[in-house]
Amino acid sequence: MKANTLLLALSICLPLSTMAQHSHGAQAPYAGMQNRTIKSLSDNDINELRRGGGWGLALAAELNGMPGPAHLLELKDQIPLASDQVAKTQALLDEMRKAAIPTGDRLIAAEKALEAAFATGKVDESSLRRLLADSETARSELRFIHLSQHYKTVQFLKPEQIKRYNILRGYAEDPCKNIPAGHNPEMYKRHMGCN
């Protein structure tokens, strides 16, 4: 009986505004996004698409040992890449951006058209299917553009360069920093190619 009385007293003392804040916060995960020009794309998304950036579309390759050309060039001295590998990587990056920028623009335009249809209320099943198809076609093409450049890099990289790339990108542990117990540190580092 005393416990019930205490719970009743606490619930009465709990300010209603606190209860309202908690329920409001849980219901508004998209608060602020209503001010975006294109609701489905942030300014960062748009900038990334317009510059031909990866936008996370090539993670299936990137996280499975197939380096991307942009990050390879960023790490060329640390991997290290030979001059002919740098030239091949630069050519892949140039080819990728040449295709990715206009395709990214198509995706932005498709999302803008979808946004406009809902903003004006002029949407029905047929138009919605067409608008979504336009957007998804551009996104699919963009994903192909990025993923295809990743699998091409492994054709001219050595396995140890890919391993070094994965370490530098944080996808694998650096064997030079984790010398197994019982090994002579100097000999182990020499064997592993540590500097």
Q: Structure tokens of 23?
A: 């329920």
- 0.85 cut: is pTM over it? no
pLDDT tier at 7 (50, 70, 90 boundaries)? very low
pLDDT, tens only, 172-183:
887 777 776 777
User: Stretch 47-52: mean pLDDT, rounded?
Assistant: 96
Q: Structure tokens of 9?
A: 């007293």
- Other CB atoms within 10 A of residue 36 CB: 15
- Environment class of residue 163 by beta-carbon count within 10 Å: exposed (0-12), middle (13-18) or buried (19+)? middle
